[in-house]
Amino acid sequence: MVTNFEIQETNRMIDEANLDVRTITMGISLTDCADSDLNSFCRKAYDKITKAAENLVKTGDDIARQFGVPVVNKRISVTPISIAASACRTDSYVPVAEALDSAAKTVGVNFIGGFSALVQKGSSQSDTVLINSIPEALSVTERVCSSVNAASTKNGINMNAVKRMGQIIKEMAFLTKEKDSVACAKFVVFCNSVEDNPFMAGAYHGVGERDLVINVGVSGPGVVKRSLEQVRGADFETVCETVKRTAFKITRVGQLVALEASKRLGVPFGIIDLSLAPTPAMGDSVAEILQEMGLERAGAPGTTAAVAILNDNVKKGGIMASSYVGGMSGAFIPVSEDNAMIEAAECGALTLEKLEAMTCVCSVGLDMVAIPGDTPDSTISGIIADEMAIGMINGKTTAVRIIPVYGKTVGDEALFGGLLGRAPIMQVNRFGCDDFINRGGRIPPPVHSFRN
């Protein structure tokens, strides 16, 4: 039961600190759409998505008006297409991406995720078709998001896939070079991806999920910053307790919206993902939270410790507020979507290497990082390999969403617009790793993966 006091607190968080429900994401299984004929599969998928999600946007808007809680995005995730479409006799899944895009436009959602493959231990024929289709698929569609899980703690790192990811990213960058290589912003490479993530670009509907499910992502970096302003100069125990209590309150808002959406749509409730995901809006910044903790800029010495404090206590507060906290719940550190992160990168406080260190303790990994367009694909694969290793060894989700912006170099800026924001082109280590990446094969899982 939500109390009147909680409602009053929620109103203050909305009015003064940019609290919002970042997304209501409907997960839809497409496994029952299987067909050997590609056109038939596309038709079945389109019909199921548009029927299941026909009221998703309206419901989100109605809840926002009734409860006064902004519901910013309504999205869809589907079964990884390399699984759902594996019976199709085809050498390209681009028509599937176009069908997904059309369905997303019909129901009015801003993104649809699940043009994905899970290849942490190896690739099936369908995985290979999916991966080879990614560059064209993301360049000809507007709302489709794609992901590849290339590593896991249980299975190690598929270095053949990691090598291919660098090539795929460069191909996408070239195909959308007139738009600052924006296709790369809709693609992410994972280690230990999760099946119930409501956030893009990495959302997909896992095979262990129900046929339909509602997952909600709540975000409130501005609320956390405002709370920390009230305890400025206090010790770390006070800081941790403040973040934890604030995360509890934010999660309660998400719980309310999720249960209401589930009831109105007649779709089971899945999880609340409490991830502090920033936006380009002023005051909606994770980097500003780090500065409020006492750092001059994000990237200064102490930044990794500050992110660890934030991430851990966000999770602790969320778990107390809901029995079904899932997704990736923690702190995202996307560069282009956070004004204070952008400023830190522009002034030299934040480097690619420091970002990598921060990913050891944050919610995901290197996110929305723009690099020079002439960066070799092997270097991009090396960056991905480093992130996969961090995730594999630490048993956590890590990811890379990196954008080599064609025609631009360090000192320039990429403009993506909307939620994706803008990004300074960051310096990449100029020394090569070709021989390392070209070894191929699979890096075995760590010894501590053998737990039973």
Q: Each residue's pLDDT tens digit in the chain (452 positions)?
A: 455 445 555 555 555 545 778 889 999 999 999 999 999 999 999 999 999 999 999 999 999 888 888 888 899 999 999 999 999 999 999 999 999 999 999 999 999 999 999 999 999 999 999 999 999 999 999 999 999 999 999 999 999 999 999 999 999 999 999 999 999 999 999 999 999 898 888 899 999 999 999 998 887 788 888 889 999 999 999 999 999 998 888 888 888 888 889 999 999 999 888 888 776 666 678 899 999 999 999 999 999 999 999 999 988 888 887 778 877 777 788 888 888 889 999 999 999 999 999 999 988 888 899 999 999 999 999 999 999 999 999 999 999 999 999 999 998 988 887 777 888 999 999 999 999 999 999 999 998 877 76
CA 363 – CA 420 distance, rounded (Å): 18
Identify whether 357 is part of a domain.
Answer: no
Q: Which long-range contacts (CB under 8 A, 24 or more apart) does 322-325 make?
A: 322/251, 322/252, 322/254, 322/255, 322/272, 324/269, 324/270, 324/271, 324/272, 325/251, 325/271, 325/272, 325/273, 325/274
For residue 265, what are the CA distances in angstroms to 1, 20, 88, 258, 311? 21, 20, 31, 11, 32
Q: Which amino acid is at 61?
A: D
Identify whether 144 is part of a domain.
Answer: yes
CA 289 – CA 154 distance, rounded (Å): 34
- Name the one residue in this structure whose structure tokens are 């129900």: 210
Within a 13 Å sphere around the CA of 11, how many CA atoms are in the beta-carbon half? 10
Identify whether 111 is part of a domain.
Answer: yes
Instruction: Count CB atoms within 10 A of the CB of residue 232.
Output: 10
Pair type for strands 144-152 and 187-191 = parallel
Find, among 116, 205, 225, 200, the residue nearest to 161 by Cα.
Answer: 116
Identify whether 402 is part of a domain.
Answer: no
User: What residues contact 354, with CB distance under 8 A and at least 6 apart?
Assistant: 299, 303, 304
Can the peptide bond before residue 201 be classed as cis, meaning omega within 30 degrees of 0? Answer: yes
Q: How far is C-alpha 38 from the geometric centre of its chain's CA atoms?
A: 29
- Helices then strands, each counted (H, E), the chain: 15, 14
Number of folded domains that form the chain: 1
Which residues span the domain enclosing 38? 25-191
Helices (H), ranges, 53-93: 56-67, 81-84
What is the longest distance spanned by two Cα atoms in the chain?
A: 64
CA 128 – CA 45 distance, rounded (Å): 21
- The tokens describing 154, both together, are 């249980």
Identify whether 152 is part of a domain.
Answer: yes
Identify whether 69 is part of a domain.
Answer: yes
pLDDT of 421 reads 80
Identify whether 242 is part of a domain.
Answer: no
Identify whether 313 is part of a domain.
Answer: no
**Residue 128: which CATH number?**
3.20.70.20
pTM for this predicted structure: 0.92
Q: Where are the extended beta strands (E) located within 162-277?
A: 187-191, 212-219, 269-276
pLDDT of 236 reads 93
